[in-house]
Every structure is written in C-alpha cells, then in structure tokens.
A and B are shown apart, each in its own frame.
Chain A
Amino acid sequence: MMSGGPAVRVSIESTCERQVQEVSLDGMETYVPPLSMSQNLAKLAQRIDFDQSSDSDEEGPERENREPWSKPELEEDEGTVKFQPSLWPWDSVRNNLRSSLTEMCVLHDVLSVLKEKKYMALDPVSQDPAMTKTPQVFQLISKKKSLATAAQLLLKGAEKLTKSLAENQEQRRQRDFNSELLRLRSQWKLRKVGDKILGDLSYRSAGSLFPHHGTFEVIKNTDIDLDKKIPDDYCPLDVQIPSDLEGSAYIKVSIQKQSPDIGDLGTVNLFRRQPKAKPGSQMWHLKLEAAQNVLLCKEIFAQLSREAVQIKSQIPHIVVKNQIISQPFPGLQLSISLCHSTGEKKNQRASPDKSKPDDHLYVLEHNLHQLIREFHKQTLSSVVMPHPASAPFGHKRLRLAGPMAYDKAEISSLQQSEGLLEKIIKQAKHIFLRSRTARTIDSLASRVEDPQIQAHWSNINDVYESSVKVLITSQGYEQICKSIQLQLNIGVEQIRVVHRDGRVITLSHQEQELQDFLLSQMSQHQVHAVQQLAKVMGWHVLSFSNHVGLGPIESIGNASAITVASSNGEYAISVRNGPESGCKVLVQFPRSQAKELPRSDVVQDGKWIHLRGPYKEVHWGRMEGRNFVYKMELLMAALTPCP
C-alpha cells in the first residue's frame, strides 16, 4: 500500500485487555469478565446468520430456480453482509494510521518546500488587537483560580505534616516516659497496683525493721503545652514521695561544754549543705535519694532514742525534741540531733547559741550510718535461717540454748550487749580523749624547751583505741639519752602508758594527770641523761636514785638525783632534779683546792688532801650551753684534767 517512502514501523500495544465495567467509590475497578469458551462460541454463533446459510445450502438451487436474476445481487448482499462482520479488527486502526501518515508526509513536503524559500514563504497570521484585551482579565481570573487551587493543595499538605509531627511528638513523649520508667525501674523497686505504679524506697528488703512503709508513687507528666517552651529540667516522669520524708536530713553529733541550764535546750538548728547534684542524674533520682536518706536518719534517731529511754545507765540520757543529750565525761555534753528541713523555709528561728561549723563530728555521723547498716545486715545473715526449716527464725546459737540448758549468763553473752547509743557514746569518748591528749602533749611541747617531747601518732587506729609514742630527748644528744620512751594507748576512758623499762601505768581521763606525768618524766630524763653522759665521758656513777626521799617534797612526782665522779676521782658532780624545784648541781672539789679547810685533830696525815672535800653549788643559770645536757658536758669537760 505504501508505495511512496520507506516502510514505517508502527508498534501497537493494547491498553487494556479487559474493559472496565465499573469504578466503585473506593477506587476499585471492576473489569468485564472475559468471555468463557461457551460464551465466546455463543457470541460467534450469534454472528452467523443461520437463515442465510441454511437457505443458501439447502435452497440454493431453489433460489437459483426462483430468482436467477437476483442471485448475483443476493450474493453481493450476502457478500457485503457476510464480509462486514469478518472485517479485520485492526482495520480502523490501520486507516487512522494511514491517514495520519498521509498528513505527516504532506507536512514534511510543505516544510521541505519552505526550506527552499523559493516557492513558498511563511507569513504570520495577523492578530486581531481587540481579541487580546479581554484575555488579560481572563488571564487574571484563570491565574487567580490556579493559584488558589495550588495554595489549597499546599495548605492541605502542610496540615497533614503538622498533624503527623504532633503525633510523632506525642509518641516520643510517651516513649520518653517509658524509657524514663525503665531507667527508674533499673534502680528502684516498682510494682503495679491497679492503675497506679508504686515504689518502695525503704530499707526493708535490706534488713531494716523500721515500720515506715516508704511507698512512693510514679506520676506521668506528659501533658505539657507544646507551644510553650519546654523547661530545661523537664522530665516526663515525676515521683511523689510521702509527705513526712520531704526535704533532707542529717544527724548532727557534737560535743560541747555542758550547758548550765537544761531549760536552754531548743530545737537544734539546721542547715547548710545542699546535696550536690551529679550531672546526668534525674530529678526523681535526687528526690528519691533524699527521701531515703531522711528515712534512714529517722530510723537511726528512733533507735537511739529508744535505747536512750530503755537502757539504764549511771547518768541518764535526756531525750528532748529532736536531741539526745548524754554526758560522756563530767563537764562535757554529747548531743545527737536529727536535723530535718523540708526545704521550704529558708531561715528557721535561730538557736540561742550559734553552733560552730566544726562542732559537728562528721566521723560519728558516718559511723552511725555504718552501724545501722551493720544492724540491717545482721537481720539478713544466713545465721538466722532455720535448719530444720520448720523452726522459727532466730540466731543459730540461741537455738541451742534449750537443748544445752544455757543459763542466764550464757544467754546474755550470746545476745548483743551493746546498742547503737552505747557504741556511739564510746566512740565519742574516745575521740574526745584522743584530741585532748594530743592537745596536752602539744601544749607541753611548746611550753618546755629543754627536754624536747616528740609524739609519733600511729596511722591505723581503732574506733575505740589509738596509740601514740612519746619520746623525751635532749637536742643534740638523741642517741645518747634515749631512756624515756613512752607508748600511750588511748582507750575509751583511760590512757595506758607503757614505759621502756616495762612499767605499765594507767592514767584516767583527767588531762592534769597526763601533764603531771609527762613533767615528772621530763625531770627524770635529765638525770638519766647525766648517767648516760657519764658513761660517754668516762666518769663513774657513784649513786643514782629515781625517787629521792631527801629534800623538799615535790608536788608533782618525785625528784631524782645522781652523783658522778671524774675518772681520776678528783672531782664529783651531784645533780638533783625535780619537776617543780628544777635542778641543783653541786661540784665536789679535792681538799687541796679548798680555800679554807677546817683544822681537825683527827685528820693529820698529808695524804688526806688528795681526797675530795667540800661541795660548791654551780650557778646553773649562768652556765653556757643551750640545754642541760650540753651544760653538763661542758662542766664535765672542764673538770676533767688534761692528760
């Protein structure tokens, strides 16, 4: 057919095999179901004109007989009728394509002719100016309409986005609450009761027997206004603690001079320290920790006051308001108080005596916490568990009391003898005694220069015992004169002194006793030093006494005395040293050097002038030398004759 140009390839693809019968409201398309075999056959059969075919077959010859002239026409009709339905289905397509090809060829020819520019030229079509005016209004209207549609679409999209964003945030807040809850649960005990989440912040599962319930409630805090700025410390989870555990508390232990009047006792005042917030810890964590601390302090104070009332002691303890007052030593007052501030009011009524910040013995507060935790642990130890399992809970040893017929003494020895209060009082006593001993030694060391006192405190101490080694030496002669070395063991109420020579002396808590003792040791040291010096210098010790019975009585300790003689026997030195009376040094000269010798009838011989004669006192204060031993050395050196 196409004889003009080259063959044009046309690819044809049917759009849809099946026709759409109906589109429902939700967009589902219902297709016309394809015809089945029988249906297809029926359709084809319908096309066949059975009258024609049967007539043509059977009555063909009759028809020919009847109307021989109409046969070709009939055949034509039949032909046209017959062939029309069996026309090729792509025929219309082919015709359309052919016509469009024709058009395209014409256009192509026109354009190629135009290119030559010889035979044809293009001319613009003149536009009617009247026509252009009105389209502007139309343009405006059309532009407005299109913009409005576009705007609506955008607005709809924006609305969808904001809605989804809000939903996301809401979900995130819910997730935040859940993740916070997970964090809370990893550190605190929680349980669900109904639709409330409750928690337990007491020490009961750790062994405490305090009857406080310690229940806190977890509250969701997710309904905040999204428009307002979210505060920095926003947390989707909040906890509600019991009202009596709010704020913070601590136990203050302090030792003071005894107040003159009992009526002066007021509520011990609080407060200084704020708990330091660790970075990254949540508000609920701080709140719960503070509440737990308050609960523990309450338990400690309840236990202490119960013991203060029940336990009989020589000097009864006083429990008033939030203080427990007891007297460890006469003139001294130990006060243990529970300081609890709810945090709302800043300045409460000031107590009449401003307590100094270092009045608070932090060590004892820490020890109280440790002791109560020890007590908790004891209720949980496996010693309490019954074997056999049907027996009641109780200490393993106490269960033997029945079968082994323990008496009261044995049973009481098994049971815990000391309560919390007694322990803490003992510790306070020890601390006080230790500090007073240190003060005594230091004051003595700064006051007395001649024999020096050195105190070496041991690093490792017990809560009830400390020890210090006191050395009394003379400066420059430490290696020679080291006979006075004292080991002081400071206990709860007494100080035990162990001397180097083996003596054990027990001093009471009075600081005057220790001072007197040290002074007497210092005076003894001088005399011991002379003894050691004599050995070094080659002098002989004629007599030595730690406690002389002659001379004036000392009010502190006893005086000691020594007499040494020079190596050739010519001179002798006598020293008497007492803590109060000081030292007295006398030198004995040989008779030959004496200025006035008493004439005697008995001693006639000349050889007696070689003996030692009268004594002369030395002006010790005018001797040269920085300390006693140095002076003594100089004196000895002066009296030793040159060889």
Chain B
Amino acid sequence: MEAPPVTVMPVTGGTINMMEYLLQGSVLDQSLESLLHRLRGLCDNMEPESFADHELVYLLKGQQGNPFMLRARRSLIHPKAPWHLRYLGQPEVGDKSRHALVRNCVDVAASHSLPEFLNEMGFRMDHEFVVKGQVFRKGVMKVVVSKLLRVLASGNTENTEPMSLSYLVELSVLAPAGQDTVSEDMRSFAEQLKPLVHLEKIDPKRLM
C-alpha cells in the first residue's frame, strides 16, 4: 500500500474555523488587588478560580520559511486533567477599526503522552514557563490575570522566578469566524476597566 498523500494545506473539513479575539494589558503588582476586586464585581458571579499552568512551546523547523509553533499546556493544580495543545495563526490584517486582535485558533485536548508524541513528530521544545493567576468569565468572554514565571531548571516546575513585577491581563473570546460584534462587546468591557488597566490589541509581530 502506498503512503497516503501528504497535503500541505491543513485539513479543515468537518470543523468550524474558530477565531480568537484578544486584548492584552498589564498591571503592576501593587495594583493587582484593586483590579481583582473590579473584575469580581464586573464578571459573572462565581468564586474566583485560581490556576497554575506549565506551558511548553514547541517549534518545528522546516527547510524553508518560518518554524511552525505549537503550544502545549498542562495544569499543575489538576494533574489528571488533559493537556491542551494550541495552534495560533497569524493575526488577521482586517480593517484597522477592529478593536481586538483576531487570529485563527485550533484547540485540542491531548493525553499525557503529548510531549513524547511531539518529540517523535519532530518538534523540539523551544522554551517553557509557568503561569499562575486567576480566571474570570463574563458570558463568553474570558479574563485571565496571570504572572509569568521563568523555569530555572528545565522540567523542574518548583524552582521558578517571576519574569517581571507585573501581571499580564488578557481578555479573550473564542468565536466562529465572521462574528464581528464580539469585538464591540470586548471593547465596551475594556472601557469599564479603563483607569485600572488599559487593554489594547498588541501585535506580536511588532514586539519581535
């Protein structure tokens, strides 16, 4: 039996093309409490949910072009929970009036053998870090307030040090392609957080 043809285009049939709408901002450590109180009041009425995750970024270096990047993330608090594999595409260059960063997003839940599998596929781990913080939700919007910690010894998540003296605030929505009203809702929500934190769309390409 001959090998099945390898297609260059990703298989898209049968799944909905999901887009991630993203707004980012940051607060200093001393302003964290007031931001958390504000979010507790604005978001849905639930107990605040803390999380601690370990993320590994894998790169597949091809012969040409940019390396292909995948992000694998696992929860440190719930070790039995499945791993989460994520692909984020390039930000869409739509009209400039769109208020949030829009990019293609593929989310897959994976079992605990994910790192070995990726290694077998040819991916190499580029870097890893630990993220700790809290998650809030308002309807479909997700607000993540997190602190990024550097892993000092590879694989050892106990020894970590914070990368900065501030917390990263991300407002994201996962929606099927074509729904532009989502960015309006995100903008109005970001307005309500205005003096505490400024959430805006930050193009990752400009940072590099």
| A residues less than 8 Å from B49 (CB atoms) | 382, 385
| Contacting pair B137 A385 (CB below 8 A) | yes
At the interface with chain A, which of B7-15, B70-78, B153-161, B197-205?
B70-78
CA distance A93 to B109 in the complex (A): 113
| Contacting pair B81 A399 (CB below 8 A) | yes
| A residues less than 8 Å from B83 (CB atoms) | 388, 403
| Contacting pair B111 A403 (CB below 8 A) | yes
Q: Cβ of B110 < 8 Å from any Cβ of A? A: yes
Q: Cβ of B46 < 8 Å from any Cβ of A? A: yes
At the interface with chain B, which of A199-207, A333-341, A355-363?
A199-207
| Contacting pair B109 A391 (CB below 8 A) | yes
Query: Of the candidates B45, B46, B82, which one forms a contact with A399 in the assembled complex, judged by CB atoms under 8 Å apart?
Result: B82
| Contacting pair A380 B46 (CB below 8 A) | yes
Query: Of the candidates A209, A380, A387, A401, which one forms a contact with B81 in the assembled complex, judged by CB atoms under 8 Å apart?
Result: A387
| Contacting pair A385 B135 (CB below 8 A) | yes
B55-92 contacts to A, CB under 8 A, are 55, 71, 73-75, 77-78, 81-84, 86
| B residues less than 8 Å from A391 (CB atoms) | 73, 84, 107, 109
At the interface with chain A, which of B28-36, B95-103, B121-129, B138-146?
B138-146
| Contacting pair A400 B82 (CB below 8 A) | yes
| Contacting pair B82 A204 (CB below 8 A) | no
> B46 to nearest A CB, angstroms?
5
Q: Cβ of B25 < 8 Å from any Cβ of A? A: no
| A residues less than 8 Å from B144 (CB atoms) | 389
| B residues less than 8 Å from A207 (CB atoms) | 44-45
A387-B81, A399-B81, A399-B82 known; A380+B135 contact, CB < 8 A: no
| B residues less than 8 Å from A399 (CB atoms) | 81-82, 109
| A residues less than 8 Å from B74 (CB atoms) | 388
Contact with B along A363-379 (1 / 0, CB 8 A): 00000000000000000
Closest A residue, CB atoms, query B142: A393
A380-B44, A402-B82, A402-B108 known; A388+B71 contact, CB < 8 A: no
| Contacting pair A388 B137 (CB below 8 A) | no
Q: How large is the interface on B (under 10, 10 to 19, 20 to 34, 35 or more residues)?
A: 35 or more
Q: Cβ of A281 < 8 Å from any Cβ of B? A: no
Q: Cβ of B133 < 8 Å from any Cβ of A? A: yes
> B94 to nearest A CB, angstroms?
22
CA distance A392 to B139 in the complex (A): 12
> B174 to nearest A CB, angstroms?
5
Q: Cβ of A386 < 8 Å from any Cβ of B? A: yes
CA distance A402 to B131 in the complex (A): 24
CA distance A630 to B84 in the complex (A): 80
Query: Of the candidates B139, B142, B192, which one forms a contact with A191 in the assembled complex, judged by CB atoms under 8 Å apart?
Result: B192
| Contacting pair B192 A387 (CB below 8 A) | no
| A residues less than 8 Å from B108 (CB atoms) | 402
| Contacting pair B82 A403 (CB below 8 A) | yes
Query: Of the candidates B78, B107, B133, which one forms a contact with A387 in the assembled complex, judged by CB atoms under 8 Å apart?
Result: B78
| B residues less than 8 Å from A402 (CB atoms) | 82, 108-110
| A residues less than 8 Å from B55 (CB atoms) | 388, 390
Of residues A389, A402, A404, which shows the largest number of chain B Cβ atoms within 10 Å of its Cβ?
A389
| A residues less than 8 Å from B45 (CB atoms) | 205-207, 380
| Contacting pair A387 B51 (CB below 8 A) | yes
Of residues B107, B109, B144, B192, which shows the largest number of chain A Cβ atoms within 10 Å of its Cβ?
B109
Chain B binding surface SS class = strand
Closest B residue, CB atoms, query A392: B174
Q: Cβ of A396 < 8 Å from any Cβ of B? A: yes
A402-427 contacts to B, CB under 8 A, are 402-404
CA distance A389 to B139 in the complex (A): 16
CA distance A399 to B45 in the complex (A): 23
A380-B46, A400-B82 known; A388+B75 contact, CB < 8 A: yes
| Contacting pair A403 B46 (CB below 8 A) | no
A385-B135, A403-B109 known; A390+B82 contact, CB < 8 A: no
| Contacting pair B109 A389 (CB below 8 A) | no
> A623 to nearest B CB, angstroms?
75
CA distance A209 to B140 in the complex (A): 10
CA distance A403 to B83 in the complex (A): 9
| A residues less than 8 Å from B82 (CB atoms) | 399-400, 402-403
CA distance A231 to B49 in the complex (A): 50
| B residues less than 8 Å from A401 (CB atoms) | 109
Query: Of the candidates A381, A388, A393, A400, which one forms a contact with B53 in the assembled complex, judged by CB atoms under 8 Å apart?
Result: A388
CA distance A393 to B137 in the complex (A): 9
| Contacting pair B192 A389 (CB below 8 A) | no
Q: Cβ of B116 < 8 Å from any Cβ of A? A: no
Closest A residue, CB atoms, query B81: A387
| B residues less than 8 Å from A191 (CB atoms) | 192
CA distance A396 to B77 in the complex (A): 14
> B189 to nearest A CB, angstroms?
11
CA distance A189 to B55 in the complex (A): 38
| Contacting pair B44 A389 (CB below 8 A) | no
Closest A residue, CB atoms, query B88: A390
Contact with B along A327-358 (1 / 0, CB 8 A): 00000000000000000000000000000000
> B184 to nearest A CB, angstroms?
13
| B residues less than 8 Å from A389 (CB atoms) | 51, 53, 73, 75, 131, 133, 135, 144, 146
> B175 to nearest A CB, angstroms?
10
| B residues less than 8 Å from A387 (CB atoms) | 51, 53, 75, 77-78, 81
| A residues less than 8 Å from B110 (CB atoms) | 402-403
| A residues less than 8 Å from B140 (CB atoms) | 393
| Contacting pair A396 B53 (CB below 8 A) | no
Closest A residue, CB atoms, query B73: A388
> A376 to nearest B CB, angstroms?
10
| A residues less than 8 Å from B53 (CB atoms) | 387-390
Q: Cβ of B120 < 8 Å from any Cβ of A? A: no
CA distance A476 to B133 in the complex (A): 76
> B77 to nearest A CB, angstroms?
7
Closest A residue, CB atoms, query B192: A191
Q: Cβ of B47 < 8 Å from any Cβ of A? A: yes
CA distance A388 to B78 in the complex (A): 8
Closest A residue, CB atoms, query B172: A390
| Contacting pair B81 A388 (CB below 8 A) | yes
| B residues less than 8 Å from A400 (CB atoms) | 82, 109
| Contacting pair B44 A205 (CB below 8 A) | yes
| B residues less than 8 Å from A380 (CB atoms) | 44-46
> A636 to nearest B CB, angstroms?
75
CA distance A385 to B82 in the complex (A): 14
| B residues less than 8 Å from A404 (CB atoms) | 111
| B residues less than 8 Å from A206 (CB atoms) | 44-45
Closest B residue, CB atoms, query A401: B109
CA distance A388 to B108 in the complex (A): 12
Closest A residue, CB atoms, query B138: A205
Q: Would you give 23 A-B contacts (Cβ < 8 Å), ordered by A?
A: A191-B192, A204-B139, A205-B44, A209-B139, A380-B44, A382-B47, A385-B46, A385-B135, A386-B135, A387-B53, A387-B78, A388-B51, A389-B146, A390-B55, A390-B73, A391-B107, A392-B107, A393-B142, A399-B109, A401-B109, A402-B108, A402-B110, A403-B83
Binding site for B on A (CB under 8 A): 191, 204-207, 209, 380-382, 385-393, 396, 399-404
Kindly list 11 other residue pairs between chains A and B, CB separation below 8 angstroms, not including A389-B53, A392-B174, A402-B109: A191-B192, A205-B44, A207-B45, A382-B49, A385-B135, A388-B51, A388-B53, A388-B73, A388-B81, A390-B84, A399-B109
The 5 residue pairs across chains A and B that have the minimum distance between CB atoms:
A403-B111, A387-B75, A388-B53, A388-B73, A402-B109
Binding site for A on B (CB under 8 A): 43-47, 49, 51, 53, 55, 71, 73-75, 77-78, 81-84, 86, 107-111, 131, 133, 135, 137-140, 142, 144, 146, 174, 192
